[in-house]
């Protein structure tokens, strides 16, 4: 019986993972076709079709992380703005686990802006098979750790977004790494940084870094409409016995949950209200993260009227299955078709292997 339960639990996350990762050769093949077909056309044709392809794949991700798991999403704050606008934005968020990346998909879905999502990513991800190469083609920006941050290169890529008039949700995690209660060294380094800067240490977030946001605000201030300030809390990050905070679920853990709860606090800040000078912007960002820390303290409070929620009224965000199921059916059908035929399997593995090698070589040369 235990063996059956173990295998059932494993299948709950392993099958979705196999479909999502296994669809990468199909995705990169479709992207290559789009790139070739739009070479002689104005850039907006490539951007539009690439955004559509990216949206199609990310809706496959949403199928598993929302429709499949039955995730319950509670929104707080400026909910009317989120549900009724369609803007170019800079998206800043606290960072706890790998599922944080998917929160941008969830929030972009009501605005039909999933294809616009671009990330500022850690440099090491550029060698991720197939997708490391693709994210650069999708106008994402790779940056090295703080001490090696190449501002000139990042500024050039951001200027390209503006000059090419590329629609964008630019996702930035200012903390630079995850706030995980199981990593006391990371928390201690953040505490020491706060003391060195003469500020009170945070309890539930890390001290944010301003460089990435500074560049984005400087280069995109006339291209984006607002900063979306997002705070995430996971319902499954509380120890039931003690009520203390524990690590947020990663992707595998999240896929294994039934009806996981997501609590998301959302604020829109018009770009004209954001300071432009670095010192002022740094203080503004610290204030935003101080507010995030208060929100998270409310969520992890042991008081019955506070714990497990953010302050204020919430609305439930529902993503219709009709927007995610077609992507699941499409990519699943492509995967089955390719793997069910000898020539399909040959094409599949050659695409996966050669595509990964060529992508990594290209990234090395461009770096």
Which H helix or E strand runs over 319?
none
pLDDT at 4 over 50: no
Local confidence band at 254 (pLDDT 50, 70, 90 cut-offs)? very high
**Helix 325-339 with 342-366: angle, nearest 10 deg:** 110
The arithmetic mean of pLDDT across residues 327-353, rounded, is: 95
> For residue range 17-44, what is the model confidence (pLDDT) as tens digits?
999 999 999 999 999 999 999 999 988 8
Which H helix or E strand runs over 286?
helix 278-299
Q: Give the pLDDT of residue 113.
A: 92
Task: For 200-259, give the DSSP string.
Answer: PPPSSSPPPP-HHHHHHHHHHTTT--EEEEEEEEETTSB-TTT--B-PPP-HHHHHTSSS
- Measured CA to CA, the distance from residue 42 to residue 164 in angstroms comes to 10
pLDDT at 8 over 60: no
Average model confidence (pLDDT) across the chain: 90
pLDDT at 2 over 70: no
What the chain holds in terms of domains, given with CATH numbers, is 23-320+343-366 (3.40.1130)
The arithmetic mean of pLDDT across residues 50-65, rounded, is: 96
Q: Give the pLDDT of residue 339.
A: 93
Local confidence band at 302 (pLDDT 50, 70, 90 cut-offs)? confident
> For residue range 111-166, what is the model confidence (pLDDT) as tens digits?
899 999 999 988 888 899 999 999 999 999 988 765 456 678 888 888 888 888 88
Q: Give the pLDDT of residue 367.
A: 66
Token representation of residue 32: 């290559």
pLDDT at 267 over 80: yes
Q: Give the pLDDT of residue 329.
A: 97
| 238 secondary structure, DSSP code | B
User: Cβ atoms within 10 A of the Cβ of 12, count?
Assistant: 16
Which H helix or E strand runs over 232?
strand 226-234
Of 251, 320, 266, residue with least CA distance to 112: 320
CB 76 within 8 A of CB 230: no
- Measured CA to CA, the distance from residue 355 to residue 25 in angstroms comes to 8
The SS3 assignment for 89 reads strand
Token representation of residue 29: 């093949």
**Helix 43-62 with 2-22: angle, nearest 10 deg:** 170
Q: Give the pLDDT of residue 160.
A: 87
> For residue range 180-212, what is the model confidence (pLDDT) as tens digits?
999 999 999 999 999 999 999 999 999 999 998
Q: Which residues contact 358 (CB under 8 A, 6 or more apart)?
A: 133
Q: Give the pLDDT of residue 7.
A: 47
Local confidence band at 9 (pLDDT 50, 70, 90 cut-offs)? low
pLDDT at 77 over 70: yes
- Measured CA to CA, the distance from residue 200 to residue 57 in angstroms comes to 42
Local confidence band at 305 (pLDDT 50, 70, 90 cut-offs)? confident
Chain length of the chain: 367
More confident residue, 131 or 81: 131
Token representation of residue 41: 């056309």
């Amino acid at each position: 019986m235990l063996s059956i339960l173990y295998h059932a639990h494993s299948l709950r996350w392993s099958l979705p993972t196999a479909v999502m990762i296994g669809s990468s050769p199909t995705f990169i093949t479709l992207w290559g076709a789009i790139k070739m077909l739009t070479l002689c056309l104005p850039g907006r044709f490539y951007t539009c079709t690439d955004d559509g392809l990216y949206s199609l794949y990310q809706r496959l991700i949403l199928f598993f992380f929302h429709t499949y798991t039955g995730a319950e999403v509670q929104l707080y704050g400026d909910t009317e703005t989120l549900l009724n606008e369609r803007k170019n934005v800079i998206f800043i968020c606290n960072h706890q686990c790998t599922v944080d990346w998917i929160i941008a998909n969830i929030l972009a879905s009501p605005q039909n802006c999933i294809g616009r999502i671009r990330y500022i990513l850690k440099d090491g991800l550029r060698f991720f098979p197939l997708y490391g190469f693709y994210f650069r083609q999708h106008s994402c920006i790779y940056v090295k750790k703080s001490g090696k941050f190449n501002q000139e290169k990042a500024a050039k890529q951001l200027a390209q977004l503006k000059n090419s008039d590329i629609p964008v949700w630019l996702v930035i995690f200012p903390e630079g790494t995850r706030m995980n209660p199981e990593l006391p060294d990371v928390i201690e380094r953040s505490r020491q940084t706060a003391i060195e800067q003469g500020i009170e240490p945070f309890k539930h977030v890390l001290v944010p870094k301003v460089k990435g946001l500074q560049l984005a605000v400087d280069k995109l201030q006339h291209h984006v409409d607002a900063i979306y300030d997002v705070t995430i809390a996971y319902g499954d990050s509380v120890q039931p016995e003690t009520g203390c905070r524990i690590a947020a679920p990663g992707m595998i853990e999240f896929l294994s949950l039934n009806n996981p709860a997501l609590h998301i606090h959302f604020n829109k800040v018009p770009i004209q209200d954001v300071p432009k000078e670095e010192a002022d912007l740094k203080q503004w960002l610290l204030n935003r993260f101080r507010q995030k820390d208060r929100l998270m303290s409310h969520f992890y409070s042991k008081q019955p009227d506070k714990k497990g929620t953010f302050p204020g009224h919430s609305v439930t965000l529902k993503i219709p299955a009709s927007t995610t199921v077609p992507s699941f059916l499409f990519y699943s059908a492509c995967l089955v078709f390719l793997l069910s035929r000898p020539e399909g399997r040959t094409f599949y593995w050659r695409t996966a292997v050669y595509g990964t090698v060529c992508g990594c070589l290209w990234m090395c040369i461009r770096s």
